[in-house]
Amino acid sequence: MINAVKQPQSVVLLGGTSEIGLAIVRALPTARLQRVVLAGRPSERLAAAVDELAAGLAGVDVSSVEFDADRPDTHAEVLDSIAAGGDIDVIIVAFGVLGDQEEINAEPAAALPLIQTNYVGGASALLQSADLLRRQGRGSIIVLSSVAGDRARASNFVYGSTKAGLDALAQGLSDSLVDAGVSVLVVRPGFVHTRMTEGLTEAPFATTAEAVAADTAKAWAAGKHVVYSPPVLRAVMGAMKALPRPVFRKVSAR
């Protein structure tokens, strides 16, 4: 139950090894936290994430369940199995892959797994999460989108398109849930230093998983529906979207 001062008791992270996702779990109010479930493909990294999180959250039951973003047919079942252990207050949808645009340019079929994970898997996880929370009559979803979805650029437009699709879905879903007691927060980070972006050239306004998590937790507590991280990107992306295409091509190629 999320109480009157916005302290949740249970949090589920879909994409249990996501650095930003884990940082959000830690950044949300922990005073009433009783249970955290990290959902992901079984791996040493997932087990380590459970241990590390449990070490920082005394008295909280931290566990993992098997969850495969690429198998949407199993998503409902996994969520139901988690809910069997008690109501879920917050579901964070944090899985995703960056893909390799150059590889896709050379071999179009390479786009399909990226689309499958980010959009098909993401949409399925979002819709199934919303359905579960609707049956509970309450709860919050936090979904990781990206500024890459605000205006797709030549260097990663397939990734951008998957985030644009997921973002649009999340916003429409959010409006459809107004009377259901369920809220959706869309998080649009800029360039974040994580495993996913290792070795890539840093973009302007680059940030860290912890900073994104702090912005997210603040926006969640305030009942916001969309948050940019860092917050300045709201204005920056507003300007980017207004740029004429030749100018945007030049700016975004930098």
Partner 1 sequence: MYQRNELLTGWGRTAASAATVALPAPGEDPRVALESVVRDPHRAARGLVARGLGRSYGDSAQNGGGLVLKLPSGGLLLDSDSGTLTAEAGTSLDEILRVIVPQGWFVPVTPGTRYVTVGGAIAADIHGKNHHRDGTFGAHVRSLDLLTADGQVRTLRPDSADEFERDLFAATVGGMGLTGVILRATFGLLPIETSKILVDTRRTRDLDDVMERMVAADDSATYSVAWIDSVAKGKRFGRGVLTTGEHAPLAALTGPDLKDPTGYNPSMLASAPPFVPGGLLTPLTVRAFNEAWYRKAPLSRDAEVQSIPAFFHPLDGVGDWNRIYGPKGFLQYQFAVPDSGAHVVRLALEELQRIGAPSFLSVLKRFGPDNGFPLSFPMKGWTLALDLPAAVDSLGSTLDSLDEAVLAAGGRFYLAKDSRTTPATLAAGYPQIDRFRAVKAAIDPDHLFVSDQSRRLGL
Kindly list the catalytic residues: 159
Q: Which is nearer to partner 1, 5 or 58 (CB)?
A: 5
| Of positions 45, 71, 135, 250, contacts partner 1 by CB under 8 A | 135
Report long-range pairs for 228-232 (Cβ below 8 Å, ≥24 apart). Answer: 228/147, 228/188, 228/189, 228/190, 229/187, 229/188, 229/189, 229/190, 230/190, 230/205, 232/205
Region binding partner 1 by CB under 8 A among candidate stretches 3-11, 65-73, 94-102, 160-168: 3-11
Sign of torsion, CA 157 162 163 164?
positive
Q: With binding defined as CB under 8 A, does residue 223 bind partner 1?
A: yes
How far apart are the C-alpha atoms of 48 and 64, rounded to whole Å?
A: 10
> Between the CA atoms of 56, 26, 121 and 174, what dihedral angle is there, to the nearest 10 degrees?
150
Q: Which is nearer to partner 1, 85 or 238 (CB)?
A: 85
The tokens describing 64, both together, are 């993992």
Region binding partner 1 by CB under 8 A among candidate stretches 4-12, 37-45, 199-207, 239-247: 4-12
Q: Which is nearer to partner 1, 83 or 203 (CB)?
A: 83
Q: With binding defined as CB under 8 A, does residue 214 bind partner 1?
A: no
Which positions lie near partner 1, rule CB under 8 A?
A: 1-7, 9, 29, 31-32, 87, 134-138, 179-182, 223
